[in-house]
């Protein structure tokens, strides 16, 4: 898929004022590559162009299938999507997939100075990382202290005024993964601005100023990623090893039809069902029941531990727009459910609003990357 509105977007942005920054975000997933180019003009973020390409055909498979391509093939697909979408910026920000990373919280004594934390993190991280510390790159974020919740204020127990611990979120990324993506960019004569774990990019694209606890559900092709976010910070992360490609594969097998036909049927009808194939919605629902059950377990465990309640669920990722998904999610969670709209953070012609709203969840990671570069 490419962006048929690229010329329109470019012509509109050319009248937006003097240039003051440009950014390209690249999201290389297991089934597709998504790119977004944003520009900052006169203090406003403008959508320049976007595009996506399926990786299945590059592996001799179908659109929507999960792949494990060598760097040369990914670089070939990246070249094509950049060409088709008309991206001109040569410096790119790129997302690192969660399966190449490990995110975990640690607690440190409150008396430790912030300046001492960088030297302590590698020592503490060894307890959580199953590979030599030399094989990963470490980053960390100090999490804000917990504010009294509604439950706290209505509890007879005393509310502690200050925590005795410093809560730190640690991110460990495999060096081999970073090297692989550097190689892909270099093969396309692109320079890298930075790399970022995909979930952080998705949070940036989907969130406004949410202070309460929110769960982001990212429906990918090979897995569904959950992030519990508070004060704009990822507090907890969990991956469910089931995604959109698993659903399509089940439809293909249950109806004895090719994967490509099953993918089209899933996108056209979703949970609303196909009158000609009564079992379609049931097949999809089996997988969603599992995903939502796992998500509920994660939420309940977090709520019990932290005495906080998830106030909203945001659906993102390529599978988030499936017909009936939002309604099914709303019936499964005790919270408000909404579909992410990352393109709302960039200016674009009004007549494209419906198209961009529908496609937005798929481009959340690439939009989040580009937004960070423009900050």
Whose structure tokens read 């998705």? Answer: 202
Does residue 156 surpass a pLDDT of 50?
A: no
Q: Which residues are 33's β-sheet partners?
A: 28, 53
Q: What phi, psi does 256 have (nearest 5°)?
A: 55, 50
Q: What is the pLDDT of residue 42?
A: 84
- Confirm if 226 and 35 have CB atoms less than 8 A apart: no
Rounded Cα distance, 161 and 154, in Å:
16
> For 23-67, how does the pLDDT look when each residue is reduced to its tens digit (9 = 90+)?
999 999 999 999 999 999 888 999 999 999 999 999 999 999 999
> For 232-277, how does the pLDDT look when each residue is reduced to its tens digit (9 = 90+)?
888 889 999 999 999 999 999 999 999 999 999 999 999 997 777 8
Does residue 301 surpass a pLDDT of 70?
A: yes
Q: How confident is the model at residue 15 (pLDDT cuts 50, 70, 90)?
A: very low
Q: What is the mean pLDDT of residues 170-188?
A: 92
Q: How confident is the model at residue 162 (pLDDT cuts 50, 70, 90)?
A: low
- Confirm if 335 and 159 have CB atoms less than 8 A apart: no
Here the tokens at position 54 are: 């399926």
Q: What is the pLDDT of residue 60?
A: 96
Q: What is the pLDDT of residue 3?
A: 54
Q: Range with the lowest mean pLDDT among 157-161, 170-174, 225-229, 289-293? A: 157-161
Which CATH superfamily includes the segment(s) 6-100+173-246+279-374? ATPase, nucleotide binding domain (3.30.420.40)
69 to each of 28, 75, 92, 366, how far by Cα in Å? Answer: 11, 10, 21, 20
> For 224-233, how does the pLDDT look when each residue is reduced to its tens digit (9 = 90+)?
999 999 988 8
Q: What phi, psi does 45 have (nearest 5°)?
A: -85, 125
> For 345-367, how does the pLDDT look when each residue is reduced to its tens digit (9 = 90+)?
999 888 889 999 999 999 999 99
pTM: 0.85
Q: What is the pLDDT of residue 157?
A: 43
Does residue 132 surpass a pLDDT of 60?
A: yes
Q: What is the mean pLDDT of residues 137-154?
A: 64
> For 74-120, how does the pLDDT look when each residue is reduced to its tens digit (9 = 90+)?
999 999 999 999 998 888 999 999 888 888 889 999 889 989 999 99
Q: What is the pLDDT of residue 322?
A: 95
Q: Which option is the CATH number for 101-172: 3.30.2080.10, 3.30.1490.300, 3.60.150.10, 3.20.20.70? A: 3.30.1490.300
Q: Angle 172-173-179 (CA atoms, 0-180°, nearest 5)?
A: 155
Does residue 155 surpass a pLDDT of 80?
A: no
**For every residue of the chain, which 3-state class applies, written as one string?**
CCCCCHHHHHHHHCCCCCEEEEEEEEEECCCEEEEEEEEEECCEEEEEEEEEEECHHHHCCCCCCCCCCCHHHHHHHHHHHHHHHCCCCCEEEEEECHHHEEEEEEEEECCCCHHHHHHHHHHHHCCCCCCCHHHEEEEEEECCCCCCCHHHHCCCCCCCCCCCEEEEEEEEEEHHHHHHHHHHHHHCCCEEEEEEEHHHHHHHHHCCCCCCCEEEEEECCCCEEEEEEECCEEEEEEEECCCHHHHHHHHHHHHCCCHHHHHHHHHHHHHHCECCECHHHHHHHHHHHHHHHHHHHHHHHHHHHHCCCCCEEEEECCCCCCCCHHHHHHHHCCCEEEECCHHHHCECCHHHHHHHHHHHHHHHHHHHHHHHHHC
Does residue 218 surpass a pLDDT of 90?
A: yes
Rounded Cα distance, 129 and 124, in Å:
10
Closest CA to 210 of 331, 340, 320, 325: 340
Q: What is the pLDDT of residue 145?
A: 65
Q: How confident is the model at residue 209 (pLDDT cuts 50, 70, 90)?
A: confident
Does residue 147 surpass a pLDDT of 60?
A: no
Domains 6-100+173-246+279-374 and 101-172 share a fold: no
Q: What is the pLDDT of residue 146?
A: 55
Here the tokens at position 17 are: 């004022």
b/e burial code for range 258-278 (CB count within 10 A of at least 16 → b)? ebbebbebbeebbbebeeebe
Closest CA to 244 of 24, 30, 53: 30
Rounded Cα distance, 261 and 280, in Å:
12
- Confirm if 244 and 64 have CB atoms less than 8 A apart: yes
Q: How confident is the model at residue 331 (pLDDT cuts 50, 70, 90)?
A: very high
Does residue 158 surpass a pLDDT of 60?
A: no
- Confirm if 313 and 228 have CB atoms less than 8 A apart: no
End-to-end CA distance of the chain: 29
Rounded Cα distance, 230 and 265, in Å:
37
Does residue 6 surpass a pLDDT of 60?
A: no
Q: What is the pLDDT of residue 277?
A: 82
Does residue 17 surpass a pLDDT of 50?
A: no
Rounded Cα distance, 240 and 222, in Å:
9
Does residue 12 surpass a pLDDT of 50?
A: no
Whose structure tokens read 């988030």? Answer: 320
Q: Provide the residue ranges of all domains of the chain, joining segments of one domain with +.
A: 6-100+173-246+279-374, 101-172
Does residue 149 surpass a pLDDT of 70?
A: no
- Confirm if 195 and 94 have CB atoms less than 8 A apart: yes
Q: What is the pLDDT of residue 1?
A: 58
64 to each of 42, 151, 246, how far by Cα in Å? Answer: 39, 44, 10
Q: How confident is the model at residue 161 (pLDDT cuts 50, 70, 90)?
A: very low
Does residue 340 surpass a pLDDT of 90?
A: yes
């Amino acid at each position: 898929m490419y962006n048929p509105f690229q010329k329109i977007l470019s012509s509109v942005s050319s009248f937006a004022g003097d240039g003051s920054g440009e950014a390209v975000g690249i999201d290389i997933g297991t089934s597709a590559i998504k790119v977004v180019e944003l520009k900052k003009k006169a203090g406003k973020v403008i959508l320049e162009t976007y595009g996506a390409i399926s990786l299945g055909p590059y592996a001799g498979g179908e659109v929507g299938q999960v792949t494990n391509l060598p760097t040369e093939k990914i670089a070939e697909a990246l070249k094509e999507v950049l060409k088709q979408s008309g991206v001109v910026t040569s410096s790119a920000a790129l997302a690192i997939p969660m399966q190449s990373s490990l995110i975990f919280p640690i607690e440190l004594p409150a008396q430790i100075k912030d300046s001492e934390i960088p030297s302590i993190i590698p020592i503490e991280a060894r307890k959580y990382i199953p590979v030599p510390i030399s094989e990963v790159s470490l980053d960390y974020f100090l999490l804000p202290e917990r504010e009294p919740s509604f439950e706290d204020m209505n509890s007879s127990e005393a509310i502690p005024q200050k925590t005795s611990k410093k809560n730190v979120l640690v991110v460990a990324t495999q060096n081999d993964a970073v090297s692989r993506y550097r190689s892909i960019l270099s093969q396309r004569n692109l320079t890298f601005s930075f790399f970022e774990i995909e979930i952080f990019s998705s949070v940036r694209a989907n969130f406004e100023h949410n202070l309460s606890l929110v769960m982001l559900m990212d429906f990918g092709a090979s897995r569904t990623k959950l992030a519990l976010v508070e004060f704009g910070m990822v507090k907890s992360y969990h991956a469910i090893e089931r995604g959109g490609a698993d659903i399509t594969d089940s439809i293909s097998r249950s109806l004895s039809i090719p994967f490509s036909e099953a993918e089209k049927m899933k996108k056209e009808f979703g949970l609303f069902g196909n009158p000609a194939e009564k079992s379609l919605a049931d097949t999809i629902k089996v997988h969603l029941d599992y995903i939502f059950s796992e998500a509920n377990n994660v939420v309940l465990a977090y709520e019990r531990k932290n005495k906080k309640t998830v106030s909203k669920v945001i659906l993102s990722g390529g599978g988030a727009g499936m017909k009936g998904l939002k309604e099914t999610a709303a019936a499964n969670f005790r919270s408000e459910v909404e579909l992410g709209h990352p393109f709302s953070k960039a200016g674009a012609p009004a007549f494209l609003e419906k198209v961009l709203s529908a496609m937005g969840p798929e481009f959340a990671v690439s939009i989040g990357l580009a937004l960070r570069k423009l900050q």
